[in-house]
Every structure is written in structure tokens, then in C-alpha cells.
Amino acid sequence: MAGKNIKPMALIRIAQNQGGSYRKEDMLSDIRKFEDRLRHETQVLGTPFDQKVPTGYMVETDLNQPVRYRVHGYVTMYDEETDTYLRKKASFYTDDYENTGNYAESFVQSYWQQYKEEALEISDFEVRAIEHNTGFSY
């Protein structure tokens, strides 16, 4: 598990050395959340485009937003000027419990204009994890 390699006190010292702070309780909560996201990544990636990610593979967390889900993934974009593909992490919020293919399509439809302004064309969005907002229905 990723968290076993993370040294909480080392992270606190890094934050302090940069003039900031990181409460141990907050940091441990963040570590657990990221570990949970990674724990089921293989299963989420293996979910066919025409199927929904089972709720057991979702991370239960407080999203601090009045929305049911946050979908995490990687967006692949084509840069026409350099003739290269770029890949970066991205996420979006939604109330819809959808097939993974529909999440990919929703991302492209919602964000194509933003990337087009950067002279990039979205070619793919790969769903890697889904967070479910604690206290909200599925």
C-alpha cells in the first residue's frame, strides 16, 4: 500500500520548511483517501465502457460539494502544433451514476472548449477512480 511508504512526520517537516503547516490528523486523512483511490484503480480500469463502476469500488469521502460523485481520470489530448499527445490527470463532479463510457463522453463534452482554447484536442478520458460523497444516495 502506498501509505506505508509515506512518512507523516517527513511531510509535516516539508510543509514547515516551506513556511506552511500540515496537521497530522488532516494529513493522515488525506493519505487514507488517496490510498483508497488507488486500492480499486485496477478494477475501475477493468470496468467495460458500457458498465457502471460497482459502488464497492468507490471511495466514500466528504467532497465538500453538494454533488454525489467526483470522477478522477487521465485526459489524453492531441497538440496539433507539435504533433504530440499529452496526458494529464483531471477530474470532474457529477450527480449521475453512469457507465464509464458515459463519464468519458461527459468529460469531453464539458471540457473540449477549454482545451481547444489551449490548441489541444481531447482524444480520450480514462476513468481511474470515483469518489462518492458520504451521506448522499447513489
Tens of pLDDT, residue by residue over 7-47, are 667 777 787 888 887 777 777 666 666 666 678 899 999 99
Q: In angstroms, how far is the first alpha carbon of the chain from the final one?
A: 27
The residue with greater pLDDT, 62 or 113, is 62
Domain of residue 111: give its range. Answer: 49-133
Does residue 124 surpass a pLDDT of 60? yes
Mean predicted lDDT score pLDDT of the chain: 86
Inform me whether the pLDDT recorded for 56 exceeds 90. yes
Q: Residue 51: pLDDT above 60?
A: yes
Number of domains comprising the chain? 2
pLDDT for position 6 = 60
Q: Are residues 117 and 61 in the same domain?
A: yes
Q: How far apart are CA 7 and CA 100, in angstroms?
A: 34
For residues 118 and 53, membership in a common domain is answered with yes
Report how far residue 37's alpha carbon sits from residue 57's, in angstroms, rounded to the nearest whole number: 9
